[in-house]
Amino acid sequence: MRDVDDAERRVVITGLGVVCPLGLTLEDVWGGLRGGHSAIAPVTSFPTAGLPLHHAAEARCFTGDIADFGPLDPDRKKSIRKGLKVMCRESQMAVAAAQRAIADSGAAAHHDPGRFGCVFGSDYMLTLPEDFTAAVARCRAAAGEFDFRRWADDGMPQLTPLWLLKYLPNMPASHIAIYNDLRGPSNSLTLREASGHLAVGEAVVTIRRGAADVMVAGATGTRVHPMKTVHALQTEQVAFGDGDPVTWSRPFDRDRRGMVLGEGAAVLVLEELGHARARSARIYAEVVGHAASCVAHGGAVGRKREAIGRSMHAALGRARTTAESVGHVHAHGASTRVGDRDEALAIRDVLGDHSGRTPVVAAKSHFGNLGAGSGLVECIASVLALGRGELFPVLNHAIADTECPVRAARGGEPAGDLFISTAVTPQGQAGSLVIRSCPA
């Protein structure tokens, strides 16, 4: 490890990659957001006949075909195509977003493998029911019931030998490091919706302490999954029922009634400023602050107002900036009754008198809750807004809620030079990032 002064090493964003319901390219994402498009449509990936929910925001643009992984040299293309069979969909989206971000950064041709690392976040990963269909069928007794005594001898041999590798949450980071010869620091985080923000925070610290010059920081997740969809319906407020599904995700609106479920992944390539300048890299923005906080009642019920407020306050402190410098806030904005209220109050707690003047965006209004993938897709959306100098609208925000004292962006407003982004889990784990335009 190099002996460096933490204050001397600034961390900038030199690459962006995304797989989300709005598309696979930055142009697709920005066009969908700025145009006020919704990605919510009927679920196609599994049967929903037995569920009350029939609409979600699937990443239909991502089929798992090798073409979805962006520009690849022949050897890397061959390796990834071969590895697809041991990746679940979340891992495939992670690798695709990472390859797109690395290609976007141009860092692959200029890196020392030992100085290039990866931190990746994910949801808890669950197997698909069909992975066990043949095994369970072999263990059925004459009357049709499952006989567990037959599982070891008759059931287990029917499982794919490498089945477990498809669902380990450390596999996205492992695949990305192997395919790109990244030998620097590596880690995997499983903190649900907060995973991406915390992955960026760890990557920033890694670069600042001199352990790496370049880091891939990303997250992947889904709520559109036979088991996870059922879990969400049982434990969280999910929107379904009457009305046009594209209007269901309505953060901070008086008539919001729950989140929409989605899937996606996003990656930022982070780089030490001097290293980026030495290779004449394009710089999107600079990460100037990050923080995390976890606050919960008994039973792991999150106290979101306190958790979000503490992480925002600490992130602004680390950025050495004040509330009046915040050009916009990218809220978690899940569109739940209690969650949006608590987040809005946290924003007011932190920004004080400036909260009424600072526009708030929430990309989930366009594509719902992507699980662990949401936070960094949203950060990318705000980075694009910084570059274009304007904000996209909070979709479906028609009637302000007096319990949510925030100013929802209408679109076309100035994005400012600095934004703060937040993410929070139902258990009260929150993360915040402060990102600003990087001076030439």
Residue with tokens 């710089």: 283
Reported as a pLDDT band with limits 50, 70 and 90, residue 3 is very low
List of domains in the chain: 13-126+167-436 (3.40.47.10)
CA distance linking residue 176 with residue 95, whole number of Å: 6
CA distance linking residue 395 with residue 301, whole number of Å: 28
CA distance linking residue 133 with residue 23, whole number of Å: 32
Report pTM. Answer: 0.95
Higher pLDDT, 239 or 1: 239
The 3-class SS string of 270-299 reads EEEHHHHHHCCCCCCEEEEEEEEEECEECC
Tell me if 380 sits within 8 A of 268, measured CB to CB: yes
The pLDDT score that the predictor gives to residue 2 is: 45
The pLDDT score that the predictor gives to residue 163 is: 87
CA distance linking residue 254 with residue 118, whole number of Å: 41
CA distance linking residue 195 with residue 286, whole number of Å: 20
**Residue pLDDT, tens place only, 187-214:** 999 999 999 999 999 999 999 999 999 9
Q: What are phi and psi of 109, to 5 degrees?
A: -85, -5
CA distance linking residue 316 with residue 246, whole number of Å: 34
Tell me if 293 sits within 8 A of 430, measured CB to CB: yes
The pLDDT score that the predictor gives to residue 440 is: 61
**Residue pLDDT, tens place only, 365-416:** 999 999 999 999 999 999 999 999 999 999 999 999 999 999 999 999 999 9
The pLDDT score that the predictor gives to residue 110 is: 74
Tell me if 340 sits within 8 A of 404, measured CB to CB: yes
362, pLDDT greater than 90: yes
What single-letter amino acid sits at 391?
A: L
**Residue pLDDT, tens place only, 66-79:** 999 999 999 999 99
User: What residues pair up with 293 in beta bridges, in sequence order?
Assistant: 430
